Amino acid sequence: MTTVLSWDPRGWLCQPIMVEHLALVEKERAMTQKKVLVLGGNFGGLTAALAVRHELHGDVEVRVVSASDHFLFNPSLIWLPFGKRRAVDITFPLAPTFEVHGVDFVHGEATRLDLAAKKVTTSAGDYDYDYLVIATGYRNDFDVVPGLGPSGNAYTITTLEDAIHAGEGWRRFLEAPGDIVVGATQGAGCFGAAYEYLFNVSHQLRKAGLKKRVKLSFVSPEPFLGHFGIGGLPHGESLLGMFLKKEKITAFVDVGIERVEPGRVVLGDDRTVEFSYAMLVPPFLGQEVVRAATDIADAKGYVKVRDTYQSEAYDDVYAVGVAAAVPVPWQTSTPLGIPKTGFPTERMAHVAARNIAAQIRGEAPHAHEEFGDMPAVCVMDAGNNGVIILADKMLPPRSHGVLIPGPEAHAMKLAFEKYFLWKARHGYVTLP
């Protein structure tokens, strides 16, 4: 039998302890540890996985299965097409981060959820769980407008591949400039990205000496400028109107897109806007694997959740971030989505982590926060300028909301990017 000398916990003498005994204790602990399986490793998945470990002081087995083996800081995709960022600047590998924090990382794609049997089939094997967190985010819905998509007539920037492609198009545009259309289609919710890209394009045109030659147009389903899919904020419409006027941008709002032809956007009201370069943000859908789990998902493939971020149907299945369904609280003449941004995604992940920890401790889930009640905290970049957006609640009715324009917003976005990537890479998810 192997023995080692170990410091006696009571203080002052060394005692032989049996290694086999220690191994047995460790094995028993592992056997009784609850298993948390997290699908997706970006804003929602990374935060939920590390926050559960933190809540339970490591006494839980956490595994993350993610289709991407890298974290992607999506907010910086607006800069990638102009060469201001490369993929390597806004991504980092997930495995080392999870390893440091004792989380098992599997690079694979979930292909089937068997929620009754508490089992997930993935491209890397089958995994069972006691608690499941779905954080699989979004995919583009290009079917909403003919002529969109990778082989279509307009670029988008909502995934890394899309943004790289949009950058190739931008470099071709610079060699043969013409007019530009930027905007969002009906059903889109990621309006911040559309506005940021619009103002960054305007800034880049000025830098390239093309501002006077290029007619820049903005197309949006929002009922008014600065609605952002969150109902607008005080003075938002006039501020955005002023920005557009200053930048000599023509706006087409409260309108859908019928189709995108080569060099021409045809609007829902038959007006047309010509372009040499177009970037349009499409609506998002949940992942197909989630949509197929019809007992938890809505028609778009988002998980119907309670304010605890438990699914409506299963107490042990959670969904956070874009994967969680958030009902759109208004009816607009042109349909809009809702922006499920990074800040609420992290909040949802922390709520879910607290509740899973409570359930593991034998308590009832006690943390809850409606999406609409979370604060709105956002920075809209405009190239060398921007707007800081702050409100006490994401959705109205609100007590206060404010838009602060100025170059400090651009500086803040640059600083936030660096800070967030540092925080996420090190797994410091309890920091603000």
Task: Using the rule CB under 6 A, give the single segment among 12-20, 65-73, 147-155, 383-391 that binds ligand FAD.
Answer: 65-73
Query: Which of 300, 292, 345 minimizes the C-alpha distance to 115?
Result: 292
Closer residue to ligand FAD in complex, CB, 77/180:
77
Say how many Å lie between the first and final Cα of the chain, rounded: 50
CB of residue 47 to ligand FAD, shortest distance in Å: 8
Query: Which of 39, 65, 32, 20 minimizes the C-alpha distance to 321?
Result: 39
279-304: b or e for each residue (b if 16 or more CB lie within 10 Å)?
bbbbbbbbbebbbebeebbeebbbbe
Residues 132-161 that bind ligand FAD (CB under 6 A): 135-138, 157-158
CB of residue 67 to ligand FAD, shortest distance in Å: 4
Instruction: Tell me the backbone φ, ψ of residue 277, rounded to 5 degrees.
Output: -140, 130
Instruction: Tell me the backbone φ, ψ of residue 208, rounded to 5 degrees.
Output: -85, 0
Q: Hey, what are 355's tokens?
A: 């509740």
Task: Kindly state the number of chain residues that form the binding site for ligand FAD, as judged by CB under 6 A.
Answer: 37
Establish if 68 lies at the interface with ligand FAD (CB under 6 A): yes
CB of residue 417 to ligand FAD, shortest distance in Å: 9
Closer residue to ligand FAD in complex, CB, 67/382:
67
E strands, 341-420, are: 376-381, 386-391, 401-405
Query: Which of 184, 239, 193 minimizes the C-alpha distance to 217?
Result: 184
Q: Would you say 187 and 283 are in contact if contact means Cβ atoms under 8 Å apart? A: yes
Residues 305-344 that bind ligand FAD (CB under 6 A): 321-323, 340-343
Q: Would you say 20 and 1 are in contact if contact means Cβ atoms under 8 Å apart? A: yes
Closer residue to ligand FAD in complex, CB, 190/317:
190
Closer residue to ligand FAD in complex, CB, 34/291:
291
Closer residue to ligand FAD in complex, CB, 192/258:
192
Question: Using CA atoms, how far apart are residues 322 and 343, in angstroms rounded to an integer?
Answer: 11
Residues 157-186 that bind ligand FAD (CB under 6 A): 157-158
Residues 14-53 that bind ligand FAD (CB under 6 A): 39-45
Contact code string over 270-289 relative to ligand FAD, x by CB under 6 A: -----------------x-x
CB of residue 19 to ligand FAD, shortest distance in Å: 38
Closer residue to ligand FAD in complex, CB, 75/231:
75
CB of residue 48 to ligand FAD, shortest distance in Å: 9
Regarding beta strands 91-93 and 70-72, do their DSSP bridges make them parallel or antiparallel, or are they unpaired?
antiparallel
Closer residue to ligand FAD in complex, CB, 252/420:
420
Task: Using the rule CB under 6 A, give the single segment among 75-83, 219-227, 270-278, 387-395 that binds ligand FAD.
Answer: 75-83
CB of residue 275 to ligand FAD, shortest distance in Å: 20
Question: What would the DSSP string read from start to end of 354-378?
Answer: HHHHHHHTTPPP-----GGGSPEEE
Task: Using the rule CB under 6 A, give the single segment among 73-81, 180-188, 218-226, 366-374 that binds ligand FAD.
Answer: 73-81
Number of H helices, E strands in the chain: 9, 24
184 φ/ψ sector (left φ>0, alpha ψ -120 to 50, else beta): beta
Contact code string over 342-361 relative to ligand FAD, x by CB under 6 A: xx-x----------------
Contact code string over 405-424 relative to ligand FAD, x by CB under 6 A: --------------------
Residues 199-228 that bind ligand FAD (CB under 6 A): none
Query: Which of 367, 316, 374, 368 minimizes the C-alpha distance to 340?
Result: 374
Instruction: Tell me the backbone φ, ψ of residue 27, rounded to 5 degrees.
Output: -65, -45
Secondary structure string (H, E, C) spanning 97-131: HHHHCCCEEEECCEEEEECCCCEEEECCEEEECCE
Question: Using CA atoms, how far apart are residues 280 and 252, in angstroms rounded to an integer?
Answer: 13
CB of residue 267 to ligand FAD, shortest distance in Å: 23
Sites of contact with ligand FAD (CB under 6 A):
39-45, 65-68, 74-75, 77-78, 109-110, 135-138, 157-158, 190, 192-193, 287, 289, 321-323, 340-343, 345, 378
